[in-house]
Amino acid sequence: MTDAALPVTERAVDEFVTDYLESLGATIRKEGRRWTVSIPDETATELSLNDTVIHLTADSEEADDDAVPLAPGSDLFERLVDDATERAPLGSVSLTGDDIEFDTPDWVTGDAVEVTDQQFTPYYDRNALCVLFHVGIETVSEYQRDLLRAVAVDLADHEPRPKLAQTCLDLSGRNGTSLAETGHTIEHDELVEAISACREMVEGAIDSEAQEIREKATRAASVEIEEYRQYLRQQQTELEDETQRLADRVDELSETIDAASEREERLERLRKRKEFRRELADLRDELDDIRDSLDRDLPERRATIRDRHALTIRIRPVTATVITYERGDLDISVRDGSRSATLTCDYAVGAGMLNQPTCEQCGAVLDGQNPIVLSDAISIGRQCCGEANHPPSL
Ligand SMILES: [Zn+2]
């Protein structure tokens, strides 16, 4: 997973569809992956769903016969994305310390030290914008991929908040839980700027993937061009052989014509030679055509094949949500049996820890490689100042 964007799978489809349909005032009765959906007539939307059973699947082919398939790339999915893009609904939620569970910090590893308590004290609220993008990658010929990607940026400084996007998806995906709506709105210009910052993140994130697909498409085009070239070459060789064989027979006949004693036999051989010469002329015409194709048509055909394999990438924002999230201090209490300590980190709900604690002896950063150990009254890094360098006193 890249830092900037999160590939989103079925859960994102679920969440996007639920949120979007609800924003249209639809009623949704969910029975597992089969949802019965009705959108009120008065809703201004092109979508028409009236007690329609939709089946959420990974692949349209696997949908129940009596249901409308909803899978990435399915008609209904495309229509929902189109509709959402047009309406661009803006939601707003608030994320507080009560909504989440605190993960064990990465600088606590192994059994030596355990976390005994985590206390969050919020000091102020920050706003972020989380945008769900639909990314369509396709070549005219064959390849098509639909992705939903959620990215988030802080509204004040446009700093990426990748974990925040994931947290919101995770929370919305939890059965029946929805975050508190805040009704928070933002200025149009601010929204446009934040969406464009998010789009850049998505573009950056799909860049390597697009590159990979582009290379695949180029290889496919090269193979197709080579196959066509080989086909022409083979035709050419076969025709050349055939022409040669016929020309040899014409020569043989010519030698035997004068040797024929009977007039009738002579006429018959002359007639035969004429027939062969006609055939030979036809073959030579055909051969000229093939040579023409190799000289003239092949470059043209090459361009057509390249066009057919060219890649189109469409990135469209489908929904945007203003997330108000709390920032403050997270006090993490740890213990190693006899000793204990409490460390304080700058923490943003949903986005996680914003700084790493440091070794109290040398100032090195504590992380997964340099986890915390307790030494007398201070917490130090195992790698920088721990057992390896100074065996702890008992
Ligand atoms: Zn240290």
Write out pLDDT tens, residues 336-377. Answer: 888 899 999 999 998 888 889 999 999 999 999 999 999 887
The reported pLDDT for the residue numbered 7 is 40
Q: Pairing between strand 311-335 and 34-38?
A: unpaired
Confidence at 172, pLDDT banded by 50, 70, 90: low
The predicted model gives 125-139 an average pLDDT of 86
The predicted model gives 57-72 an average pLDDT of 83
Q: In one letter, which amino acid is 275?
A: E
Model confidence at 177: pLDDT above 50: no
162 alpha carbon – ligand 1 mean position (Å): 30
356 alpha carbon – ligand 1 mean position (Å): 13
The reported pLDDT for the residue numbered 328 is 95
How far is it, in rounded angstroms, from Cα 341 to Cα 378?
A: 7
Q: In one letter, which amino acid is 308?
A: R
Model confidence at 109: pLDDT above 90: no
The reported pLDDT for the residue numbered 297 is 80
Coil, strand, or helix at residue 302?
A: helix
Count of other CB atoms within 10 angstroms of residue 43: 13
* DSSP state string for 353-385: ESS--B-TTT-PBPSSSS-EEEETTEEEETTTT
249 alpha carbon – ligand 1 mean position (Å): 94
pLDDT above 90 covers a percentage of the chain that reads: 29
Task: Kindly state the tokens that stand for 306.
Answer: 């390249």
pLDDT one-digit tens code per residue, 289-331: 988 888 888 888 888 887 777 777 888 888 888 889 999 999 9
The predicted model gives 53-61 an average pLDDT of 83
Q: Which CA distances in Å does 145 have to 1, 138, 193, 206, 326?
A: 18, 6, 27, 12, 36
337 alpha carbon – ligand 1 mean position (Å): 21
377 alpha carbon – ligand 1 mean position (Å): 14
Task: Kindly state the tokens that stand for 383.
Answer: 């790698």
Q: Which range has the top average pLDDT, 21-30, 77-86, 291-300?
A: 21-30
Q: Pairing between strand 52-56 and 68-70?
A: parallel
How far is it, in rounded angstroms, from Cα 71 to Cα 283?
A: 54
Mean pLDDT of the chain: 83
Q: Which range has the top average pLDDT, 68-82, 179-193, 342-356?
A: 342-356
Q: What is the CA radius of gyration of the chain?
A: 35
The reported pLDDT for the residue numbered 5 is 34
Give Cα 315 to chain centroid, integer Å: 11
Q: Which of 183, 132, 157 is nearest to 15 (CA)?
A: 132
Coil, strand, or helix at residue 293?
A: helix
106 alpha carbon – ligand 1 mean position (Å): 17
Model confidence at 2: pLDDT above 50: no
Q: Which range has the top average pLDDT, 57-66, 106-115, 176-185, 301-310?
A: 106-115
339 alpha carbon – ligand 1 mean position (Å): 18
The reported pLDDT for the residue numbered 140 is 67
Q: What is the pTM of this model?
A: 0.64
Q: Which of 374, 367, 368 is nearest to 340 (CA)?
A: 374
Instruction: List, as ranges, residues with CB under 5 A of the ion ligand 1.
Output: 359, 361-362, 364, 380-381, 384-385
The predicted model gives 135-142 an average pLDDT of 73
307: Cβ contacts below 8 Å, ≥ 6 apart: 140
- Rounded to 10°, the helix 75-87/10-23 angle is 50
